Amino acid sequence: MKYQLRFIIPITLLLLAGGLLGASFSRYLSDITEDLRKLEEAFLMINRRYVDPVEPNQAAEDAIEGMLKSLDPHSSYIDASAFKEVAESFQGSFGGIGVWFQIPDGDTARVVSPIEDGPSEKAGIRAGDRIIAVDDTSVVGVGEDEVKRRLKGPVGTQVEVTIRRLGIQHPFTVPLTRDLIPLYSITSSYMVDEITGYIRISRFAQSTYAEFIQALDELQEQGMERLLLDLRDNGGGILQSAVAIVDEMLAGNESIVSTIGRSVPSEVFVAQRTGRFETKPIIVLVNGNSISASEIVAGALQDHDRALLVGHRTFGKGLVQNQFPLPDGSYLQITTARYYTPSGRLIQTPYEEGDREGYFEAKLDGLIKAQQDPEKYAESLPDSLKFTTTHGRTIFGGGGIMPDYVIEGDSLRPRILRALYGGALFETFRLWFENNEQALRTTWEDRADEFVNDFTFSTAQWDALWVSGASSQVPVTFVDADPSTEELQFTYSELNENSETIRLYFTALLSRQLYGARIATPLFHAIDETFQESLSLWSEAEKLALLSQ
């Protein structure tokens, strides 16, 4: 009989539990029904009784936003038009004319560069051209989003753009047929030296893994023996793309990331195949704008001692978000789980539900502290936020991924360089370039290699830059002593002490205007502190690589 009792008691308990759960679930459904009825009554009452007419769609969207505000800081509502752009960014392509452009304040759309083999390049549109009309409708003074909207369209449709070009007296019209335009995730890849390859991933879309493999193969064919992987300012994207890329750098069966949620099954993603780059040295560059999927890549490689991380603490967005459609084509983007690195670190920084403003303020404060005094920041963390890598190195949790080597913060730069990277000196350059564009293009057109090797600012050009700066919308001026700290005013000694960096920055900007990002990127890297510092750390990365062999 005792064997029967062993089964009878659990079965009885299960039946009782089932009855209790059934009653509980029934009450839960009843509560939801009452809450929905209350929401509906409030919506109808406001629509009928409010003193002014109420736009129902806006009221509904506001109600949705109100509900989401009580949740985590990243759950959001995406209207139908915005979701179309989100979908394009993840798909990695859209219908358009294939041109990168920028619009200085109050100016026209200026072509930075046509996309290779796109409709614009084939039609002869080139860097420096100004788009002044689309289908006979002026776009002078029109915002960037509106210009994009007019240029985009279904593949195969026709569009006419009116171009103003320096050296040609009258504007001219170019008929174009829209084509499928790729949105590249790999925005730069090149050989830094004979054995060092560089790849920058700007986001994780459906095409990112294929782009990464192509770049990796091309660099290995050129002799790459070590990889500098740049994930700075990478806003994240598709989890599967990030996992596939990590799989190329980790040995089989090593964990990459795990997800734990309430209403979805927990998952562990592991490396499953022999990768193309499993044993060679890797350095990963990260910063405070490395978000979500990029943090998964960085965290997995650090946890397994597979890469040396250099830069600043990452953003700390470790929430799995799924998009759920609503009847009008809009979507709810709702957090369904959390990401954990292989060592067990939660990527997400702490938050209080409903306090979005406090969340971002605390996040910024934490990023600054981790950047300005990383040792003090690490010492302040409790033991519960200290983890170990596969081979016993101490790493830190608490939100985001703390790099192995932290580069000094922007606040420690000379004041004039902070202005440079903040945009004031870019405005100085922009105005100077507008005044000299025709002569520069005439002199340097189709001479990219010579430009990189030979270009220097003449004394006259250098002096003219600062005349332009003083008359720009963000005026930069110089005095002999005692500059104002509240205005963009500097001493001549500040300029002279940092002139080499500023010259390199302006040269890089000029090369981007003349030849596009491919030529300009190595020039920007010449004044990139994190990039330059990482090149001195290969001995540390090589020690980690030996652990994987």
Q: Are residues 308 and 242 in the same domain?
A: yes
Q: Are residues 340 and 464 in the same domain?
A: no
Q: Would you state the pLDDT for residue 189?
A: 97
Q: Which amino acid appears at position 257 of this protein?
A: V
pLDDT tens digits along 193-239: 999 999 999 999 999 999 999 999 999 999 999 999 999 999 999 99
Q: Would you state the pLDDT for residue 28?
A: 55
For residue 22, is it within any domain?
A: no
**pTM, full prediction:** 0.82
Instruction: Give the separation between CA 272 and CA 378, rounded to whole angstroms.
Output: 34
Residue given tokens 């001479």 in the structure block: 447
For residue 541, is it within any domain?
A: no
Q: Are residues 233 and 359 in the same domain?
A: yes
Angle at 75 between CA 152 and CA 337, to 5 degrees: 115
Q: Nearest CA to 174 among 138, 127, 107, 121?
A: 121
Q: Are residues 522 and 493 in the same domain?
A: yes
Cβ atoms of residues 134 and 150 within 8 Å: yes
For residue 548, is it within any domain?
A: no
For residue 195, is it within any domain?
A: yes
The CATH number linked to 163 is 2.30.42.10
Residue ranges in the chain whose pLDDT is less than 70: 1-31, 88-92, 105-106, 409-412, 422, 472-474, 485-486
The CATH number linked to 350 is 3.90.226.10
Q: Are residues 257 and 313 in the same domain?
A: yes
Q: Nearest CA to 234 among 440, 410, 68, 89?
A: 89
For residue 4, is it within any domain?
A: no
pLDDT tens digits along 476-507: 777 777 777 667 788 888 888 888 988 999 99
Q: Are residues 491 and 435 in the same domain?
A: yes
Helices (H), 96-202: 119-122, 144-151
For residue 239, is it within any domain?
A: yes
pLDDT tens digits along 122-144: 888 887 788 999 999 999 888 88
For residue 344, is it within any domain?
A: yes
Q: Would you state the pLDDT for residue 410?
A: 59
Q: Which residues are catalytic?
A: 292, 303, 317
Q: Are residues 386 and 498 in the same domain?
A: no
Domain extent at residue 147: 95-182
Q: Are residues 387 and 292 in the same domain?
A: yes
Q: Would you state the pLDDT for residue 478?
A: 77
Q: Nearest CA to 287 among 263, 259, 311?
A: 311
Q: How many Cα atoms within 13 Å fall on the side-chain side of residue 19?
A: 5
Q: Would you state the pLDDT for residue 397?
A: 92
Q: Are residues 241 and 257 in the same domain?
A: yes
Q: Are residues 285 and 372 in the same domain?
A: yes
SS (H, E, C) 314-346: CCCCCEEEEEEECCCCCEEEEEEEEEECCCCCE
Tell me which of 386, 410, 434 is where a domain ends. Answer: 410
Tell me which of 19, 51, 69 is where a domain ends. Answer: 69
Q: Are residues 254 and 209 in the same domain?
A: yes
For residue 9, is it within any domain?
A: no
Tell me which of 410, 425, 442 is where a domain ends. Answer: 410
Q: Are residues 164 and 251 in the same domain?
A: no
Q: What is the DSSP letter of 383?
A: G
Total number of domains constituting the chain: 4
